[in-house]
């Protein structure tokens, strides 16, 4: 196992990561995109930075660079290379507000999170469409890991934290 640093908030860092990986001349069979920040604070501008401007474009960019530069050489007709993006079932309640990505009209931390997950699902569907149209040996998949005991609930109301603390051992992975 080898570690390569990549800051998803920095396009420069993502480009450097892809260049470093390419220099190794190794196949990349699976790229797992999981840039999931913890729940954003109740400030709309901070939430935009955390959910939309950090996680979504960073994952888009690394997936596109990998698709263009690394993955095509790794996939074959019998064994496709894969881009797996981690999302959430929360995307079902998400609404993509293209005219108000920062949620300045009405903000909720859950809404910002759901919007970012919906954006990842839509991106993955579009990427798969492009891959299929180009006859690529790369597939794009989006997955929901289920309810996992993470720092996602870091900024929620204290009552929710208590309920989580009492039930996480039973219901969360």
Residues catalogued as catalytic:
113
Three-state secondary-structure class, residue 103? coil
- Asked if 102 and 46 count as a contact pair (C-beta separation under 8 A), the reply is no
**Residue 41 corresponds to which tokens in the numbers above?**
């604070």
Q: Which long-range contacts (CB under 8 A, 24 or more apart) does 154-162 make?
A: 154/38, 154/39, 155/38, 155/39, 155/40, 155/41, 155/42, 155/109, 156/39, 156/109
d(CA 85, CA 60): 10
**Residue 168 corresponds to which tokens in the numbers above?**
């996480």
């Amino acid at each position: 196992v080898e570690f390569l640093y990549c800051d998803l908030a920095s396009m420069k860092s993502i480009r450097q990561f892809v260049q470093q990986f390419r220099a190794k001349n190794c196949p990349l069979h699976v790229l797992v995109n999981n840039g999931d920040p913890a729940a954003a604070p109740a400030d709309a501008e901070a939430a935009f930075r955390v959910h939309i401007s950090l996680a979504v474009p960073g994952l888009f960019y690394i997936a596109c660079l990998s698709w263009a530069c690394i993955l095509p050489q790794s996939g074959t007709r019998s064994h496709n290379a894969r881009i797996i993006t981690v999302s959430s079932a929360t995307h079902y309640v998400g609404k993509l507000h293209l005219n108000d990505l920062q949620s300045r009209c009405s903000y909720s931390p859950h809404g910002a999170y759901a919007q970012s997950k919906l954006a990842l699902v839509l991106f993955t569907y579009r990427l798969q469409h492009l891959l299929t149209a180009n006859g690529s040996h790369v597939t794009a998949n989006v997955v929901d890991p289920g309810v996992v005991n993470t720092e996602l609930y870091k900024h929620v109301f204290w009552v929710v934290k208590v309920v989580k603390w009492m039930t996480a051992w039973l219901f969360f992975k």
